[in-house]
Amino acid sequence: MKKKIQKIKPVIGWREWVGLPAFGIKAIKVKVDTGARSSSIHVNEMHEYEKNGKTWVKFKVHPVQRKKVQTVEVDIEVLEHRAVRSSSGRASIRPVVITDINLLEETWPVELTLASRDKMGFRMLLGREAFRGRFLVDAGRSFYNGKPKRKKKSSTKRLSIQKGNNT
């Protein structure tokens, strides 16, 4: 009988700073939520449109909570629309996109639902499907990935992510 050797997984905290390189976001604070299946990001001014027979979406992200000094404009293809139940129990249909995420020197594609999270404590929620099999979660600690250096610049970035560049 073969003994299964399990690789030790890195540990992350209940909140972390992650990067979304295809969006041009070096650091956004996320709540790591093992109770949530899917991941979600707060967006503003979301507009869906058709391009070459596919559904695309344009939106703005303010990566820093409670501040609008940095605005990132994203233009990306929609994977699908999905029914998602919020923490308050309300269901809604949300667009889903795929983009890469950076955490603890690893980069991999994740599905993000686009939503208004203005009243929530975090701009982004990292659900268990995004980190399943990659990390263990220490619910009592935060920021195993460290904290980003602060900058006091305001900027607007515009991105158009072509299919194949965001996975």
Q: pLDDT value at position 116?
A: 79
- What is the Cα Rg of the chain in Å? 16
What is the C-alpha to C-alpha distance for residues 143 and 135, in angstroms, rounded to an integer? 13
| All domains in the chain, ordered by first residue | 11-144+151-160 (2.40.70.10)
Query: For the chain, which residues score pLDDT lower than 50?
Result: 162-167
pLDDT at 90: 83
